[in-house]
A and B are shown apart, each in its own frame.
Chain A
Amino acid sequence: MAGNRRYIAVLAVLVGAASLGAAILGPPSYCPTVEQVQQALDDLRDGRYAQAEREALAITANTEEPNPRAWAIVAAARQRNRRYALAASAYRQFLAEADCPDSREFAIEQIRSCEAQAHPRPVPVAAPSKRLSGRQLAELAEVDERTCAESSEHFIVRANNARLARLVAVEAEVALDRICRVILAGQEYPHSVAINVWPDARSFHANAREAAEWAGGGFTYSCENGLITRQIDLTQRDANGRFAAVMLDRVLPHEMCHLVLKELFGDAACPLFLNEGLAMMAEFEPENSRIRLAGRTVAGKASRKLKDLFVARRYSIDEPLVFYAESYSFMEFLHGRLSPAQFRDFLLNVQAGCTVTDALQRSLYVPADDSFLADLAGAWEDHAIEQTQFLEALASRDPKR
């Protein structure tokens, strides 16, 4: 009897060891909640969010075989039902159980997105000149005998007005941050730039020799004897002797974007539409006239327009206003539709020498498709017309727009 008991004990230990070994080494051969998970996924797909949430919660709470992955269904159901705070908390549960880096990354991204949706959107910051009073604007138009220098993390600003030098240094940092972080999706800029604010157009053109005749600002990026010069030249006053607010609101961020892009592209050629389109996007306020013009010109002929846009050179542009409007419209469309990572990848692909369509398809990780350009043009056309119609509708309510 005692011997039998010993055999039973040994057998029990062996069986236990074998099942433990199978549990550790073998693949999961059966998932008890498959049917429930699939049912919840069906409901999620078909828009029955409350039901999907209920079912998925039941799976997570299943005492016998809980499936913590079902938190992803709970979270998605809440998110699609616009219950963002609760969705974020469900994504946190999913994050705690996620076993692969991709899932964790996805959960973190969704938590951020839900939290951003849960809180009211911050009011967009007005253009710098809109935050200034009439008296301040008048002060900024003053020109001293002495040149003042003001420095910030990235800029050394010289102007014949101490207040203006300070303001330009602050706004230049704001613009650079927006360009690098938001527009170029994480571009670094560990350089120092000299900004010269010349009192008027005459002194500006006398010093910024590369600037076009009509321009009120320009940038310089040159390398001589191993010394790189990064410089932005601006004009303080307009033809009437008033402070040129456009310099702060548009010209400064516009030229700065060109400078940053020059750094990003190096010796590689940056397509003109991309360079100008992004520079216009960097300006503090969108110019509605560009959006309207683009909508009108693109309607019905986006495909041809897009082909022309991609190969446009500065000397080959017949209608500069139309070109600028279309460049802005297309880049704003791309930037809005691509994720930051995709947009960054797109820029790097263009920088590496890919054509625009190839760069886009590579950044999307899709197989090359001959109809891609036509589809892209169609989508851009729809977007441009939609934007124009929206502005027209607003203008009919508020003629000032």
Chain B
Amino acid sequence: MVRAALSGCLVAILATAAAADKLVLTDGRVFTGTVSVESDTVQIAVPYGTLRFDKTMVERIELMDTPEQEFRKKLADTDLDDPNALFGLAQWAGQKKLTRQATDLYNLTLKLAPGHAGAHKGLGHILIGKTWQPFEAALAQARGKLEAGSYEVLLEDIIPALKQAAPTRADSLEVTDLLGHAQLRSRQFIRAEATFTELAELARKSEPPAVDLAVRAGAIAEILHANSDGMYVLKETYPPSSVLLGATDSQVMPGPASLARPLALEAALRDEAKTEIEAGRELLEEAQKLSATEPDLGNIKYALADQAFQRADAMIPHIARAHRVDIARRKIAGLRKDADADAKDFDDQMAKLGVKDMPPSAYSTMILRMIHHLDSTREDLRRIVELAQVYPKDLVLELKWAELDLTRIENMRKILVTELDGRK
């Protein structure tokens, strides 16, 4: 069975094998790639293309094994029933960046010796309790341990292993987030503050930037900095709807509470989000007042308000969604107004057509002007569709109307363009 799997692995390796010859020129330049000789020229295929040189320019050709070729030779010499031998070769392959081959060999090692720690580590598995688990499963289990309050094992064993095994940058950010929360819940407030500060920085710098995570981690770091004794004073009961909808078992009363309690941290984040929403609402009102007289300034205020709402949403998901829908709705209303003005101009031009005689050139100019009005309306409608598509459920009417109008405009435009082309 193992041999069968291994032969499959070998076939794949052979298929990808390529030479790594060295071409040394008389002027001292050295190229590495696949060399072939054709009458008077020597060709070398390098990663960025093929180079040709006259034979006279070549000092010597060194034919060398590629890592794949070397791997093939080593594999031939390896005892395929010895898990340690396979593991050794897998490690070598890993060092030579032959990732797929290394993974295959680690898996083969585990088939022979299911508890082989080195092979598990090589595959990025993490030991939780007595079982090795792939990264994703281990991360999920670590989250479970956090909820269960097993902070010690989490901080000492699992998170360091997860951090080391994190396959991507995003995974690494998730592990750091987990670390921060584990420190926080185990009341290591100063360490948690440092971790969240670092996480905010890493999230901001990651590619693409994890903006929401950066904002949230930054807010937690600030909360911890302002409350270094780990005590947060809640101004109202949390969750805030519990007074209205009836008390639940898990709620925090107004007054001092430990930030190690997840609900107290949520309450603190919600207070931060509330501040952002209040600032956003003020900006929104200013934008509304300005949009009629100074639309550009109004748009800047809308953008600032949207930023404030985004920050709030980053702290507590969807807390400011309704306000963001408001912004979209108001922007759509402004665009509708512009589109209606253009449509009216179009109708005025249309009314003039056929009423009085006009020379062909004037007729064409008028058609062109009408197309221009349609294009302008079309731009507004496209922008409306763009805005409404983000919230299709909330702005269903705006979206449908804009789509319907767009279809009508496209049809009218076609007629006008045909008319204009016919004139030409």
Q: Mark B238-258, 1 if CB is under 8 A from A, else 0.
A: 011101111000000111111
Q: Which of B230, B239, B245, B277 contacts A34 (CB under 8 A)?
A: B230
B319 within 8 A of A: yes
Stretch at the interface among B99-107, B127-135, B266-274, B347-355: B266-274
Q: Which residues from chain B contact A72 at a C-beta distance below 8 Å?
A: 231, 233, 255-256
- Check B322–A37 contact: CB distance below 8 A: no
Contact B244 A337 (CB under 8 A): yes
Chain B binding site: helix, strand, loop or mixed by DSSP?
Answer: mixed
Given A102-B271, A366-B241, also A76-B256 (CB < 8 A) = yes
The reply to whether A368 and B257 form a contact with Cβ atoms under 8 Å apart is no
Interface of chain A residues 120 through 172 with chain B (CB within 8 A): none
Q: A365 with B244: in contact, given A34-B230, A106-B233 (CB under 8 Å)?
A: no
Of the candidates A30, A80, A364, the one whose C-beta lies within 8 Å of that of B241 is A364
Q: Nearest-CB distance from A47 to chain B (Å)?
A: 11
Task: Check: A212 CB closer than 8 A to any chain B CB.
Answer: no
A372 to B242, CA, bound (A): 11
Residue from the list B193, B226, B245, B323 in contact with A379, Cβ < 8 A: B245
B236 within 8 A of A: yes
Rounded to whole Å, the gap between the CB of B346 and the closest CB of chain A is: 31
Residue A38 lies at the interface, judged by CB distance under 8 Å to chain B? yes
Q: Given contacts A34-B189, A72-B256, A73-B256, is CB(A364)–CB(B244) below 8 Å?
A: yes
A16-55 residues with Cβ-Cβ distance < 8 A to B are 27-31, 33-35, 37-38, 41-42, 44-45
Q: Is A360 an interface residue (CB 8 A)?
A: yes
B50 on interface, CB distance cutoff 8 Å:
no
Residues of chain A within 8 A (CB-CB) of B255 are 44, 72, 75-76, 79-80, 110
| Chain B interface residue count, Cβ-Cβ cutoff 8 angstroms | 40
Supposing A38-B230, A364-B244 touch, asked if A31 and B322 sit within 8 A by C-beta, the answer is: no
Tell whether A45 pairs with B318 under 8 Å between CB atoms, given A69-B229, A100-B226, A106-B235.
no
A367 at the A/B interface (Cβ < 8 Å)? yes
**Is the CB–CB distance between B229 and A365 below 8 Å?**
no
B231 close to A367 (CB less than 8 A): no
Instruction: Evaluate contact between B244 and A45: CB separation under 8 angstroms.
Output: no
- The answer to whether A368 and B318 have CB atoms under 8 Å apart is yes
CB distance from B411 to the nearest CB of A (A): 34
A67 at the B interface (CB under 8 A): yes
Residue B116 lies at the interface, judged by CB distance under 8 Å to chain A? no
Q: Is the CB of A27 within 8 A of B229?
A: no
CA distance A368 to B253 in the complex (A): 22
Chain A residue numbers with a CB within 8 Å of B274 are: 365
Point out which of A76, A100, A103, A376 has the most chain B C-beta atoms below 10 A from its C-beta: A76
Q: Is the CB of A37 within 8 A of B231?
A: yes
**From A42, A67, A106, A109, contact of B258 by CB (8 A):** A42
- Which residues of A line the B interface, CB within 8 A? 27-31, 33-35, 37-38, 41-42, 44-45, 67, 69-70, 72-73, 75-76, 79-80, 100, 102-103, 105-106, 109-110, 334, 337-339, 354, 358, 360-362, 364-368, 372, 375-376, 378-379, 382
Taking A37-B229, A103-B233, A361-B241 as known contacts, 12 extra A-B pairs with beta carbons closer than 8 A to each other, sorted by chain A number, are: A31-B230, A34-B228, A34-B229, A35-B187, A41-B230, A41-B256, A69-B256, A100-B226, A106-B235, A337-B243, A366-B239, A368-B321
Can you list 8 A-B contacts (CB < 8 A)?
A28-B228, A37-B229, A38-B231, A38-B260, A354-B322, A366-B241, A367-B319, A376-B244
